Amino acid sequence: MKILLTGANGYIGMRVLPLLLEQGHDVVCAVRSADRLSVDKETKERIDIIEMDLLDEVKPNLIPKDIDVAYYLVHSMSSSTSDFSDKEQITANHFNTYMKETQVKQVIFLSGIVNEDNLSKHLESRKNVESILYEGNYNLTVIRAGIIVGSGSASFEIIRDLCEKLPLMITPKWVNTRCQPIGIRDVLKFLTGVLGKEETYGDSFDIGGPDVLTYKDMMKNYAKVRRLSLTIVNVPVMTPKLSSYWLYFVTSTSYKLASNLVDSMRVNVIAKDNRLQDILGIKPHTYEEAIEMAFIKIEQNQVISSWKDSKVSSRYSQKDLNKYIKVPKFGCLHDHQQMKANNPKEALEKIWAIGGKNGWYYANTLWKIRGYFDKLSGGVGLRRGRTNPDKINSGDSLDFWRVLMADKEERRLLLFAEMRVPGEAWLEFYIDDENVVHQNATFRPKGLIGRLYWYSMLPFHFFIFNGMLTQICKT
């Protein structure tokens, strides 16, 4: 079949894509920017890519008319609590308008479990989107999931951060809320299993694993699987705002995402029935099995996607990032250093492995301090790390940078700063034909404060950047 995959660059979309290709389907990926689709060159050659933002006005003839099935994997949970519901309604209505121009037979929508009367703003918005999509001229299949457990998922990584870092936790009362977690592997089975399945047309299905747990149970069970010592003490005085700040400073989440997650965590998220499980013959894994499978992927460096690489973790919208792909020359301050590489192949591998657990090769303590102060001021800090220790694609997050370009054949890596600075900053590495490694730091200051910031950092830049380049070129 010919399948339209919206949200192709998101956590779920990145995992659905290879499965659809393995099944032999023709896939059209709809993304805000083709440059930010974080897949390798071989995968890009096997798919069609269209650039579209469902918040923008509908553009005629943008989507191929011969689409058979479409996946709707778009959400705006990273937006502020005051406007994401409006954005989600706009994107759903625009999606329906686009679908009118096609011969699409089925749309598959991944939503949240909405069985409570008093829903969070996020779950209420998901329910509204579902209602809008039911108005489309196609057969809608809705899969409603709760907490998704898998390497790179926001909920899993938050639990992982909390349990690995805090042997003693003072927690708010929402840790007693019940939910029904499900492994990412099972979610993908359901998403691909309903493809073209007429029994699922025009219906909504809850999916969940076999365990109904509180968030406290989930953390305790995580600690059990990981053989960690964990003590949890509940307190009734922690407000939603304090809880959001707590998640923000302890974990790698953004404050907006933390706020929306805390709002959702007060609602019980439990599946109503197992109809889809019976229709497709799928037996979901237990919560502890899902954790173990996640760590198999983590330990083998096979994490396909992470919420940290998506827009949800970025300070900038996709439209903003698109304009930074070309590094400006005028009105900027520069630090250019170069050094001959004795082994250019090894130097390139070091560049491709920079950041995350590998560090920045020189004065890592100072990088960590800079990340701490960035987090303290509301920035992303260094906690995002990187999804893979030695592979990188355009669009990936890399500590407090965003990868604008990663072209190994051209031997060039271009990063854009997402930390809080009074201006805009780029860091570029490239190796020329003479095997000289060039390291360019470019800063476009914002007013006098921006210039004072740059000049105050010059002494640090001199020995940090020089030391980093020396380590990259050293064999």
Query: Residues 323-382: pLDDT tens digits?
Result: 667 888 878 888 999 999 989 999 999 999 999 888 999 999 988 888 888 888 777 777
Confidence class for position 279, pLDDT limits 50, 70, 90: very high
Q: What is residue 417's three-state secondary structure?
A: strand
User: Above 70 in pLDDT, residue 79?
Assistant: no
Measured over all CA atoms, what is the biggest interatomic distance in the chain, rounded to whole angstroms?
Answer: 67
Stretch 379-393: mean pLDDT, rounded?
79
Distance CA 264, CA 119 (A): 8
Lowest-pLDDT choice from 82-86, 242-246, 268-272, 301-305? 301-305
User: Above 80 in pLDDT, residue 417?
Assistant: yes
Strand runs (DSSP E) across 125-235, as ranges? 139-145, 148-149, 168-171, 178-179, 182-183, 203-207, 213-214, 231-234
Lowest-pLDDT choice from 141-145, 185-189, 330-334, 451-455? 330-334
User: Above 60 in pLDDT, residue 80?
Assistant: no
pLDDT at 313: 47
Q: Do 76 and 109 contact (CB within 8 A), yes or no?
A: no
User: Above 60 in pLDDT, residue 321?
Assistant: no
pTM reported for the whole predicted model: 0.74
Lowest-pLDDT choice from 49-63, 107-121, 235-249? 235-249
Q: What integer best gives the mean pLDDT of the chain?
A: 85
Instruction: Using DSSP bridges, classify how beta strands 178-179 and 333-340 pair: parallel, antiparallel or unpaired.
Output: unpaired
Percent share of the chain, pLDDT over 70: 88
Q: Do 215 and 265 contact (CB within 8 A), yes or no?
A: yes
Stretch 217-235: mean pLDDT, rounded?
89
pLDDT at 319: 46
DSSP-derived letter for residue 269 is B
Beta-carbon neighbour count of residue 83 at 10 Å?
10
Stretch 373-400: mean pLDDT, rounded?
81
Which strand (E) or helix (H) includes residue 69? strand 69-72
Pairwise pLDDT comparison (356 vs 249), residue with the higher score: 356
User: Above 70 in pLDDT, residue 252?
Assistant: no
User: Above 70 in pLDDT, residue 293?
Assistant: yes
- pLDDT tens digits, one per residue of 195-225: 999 999 999 999 999 999 998 999 899 999 9
- pLDDT tens digits, one per residue of 40-54: 778 888 999 998 888
Length of the chain: 475
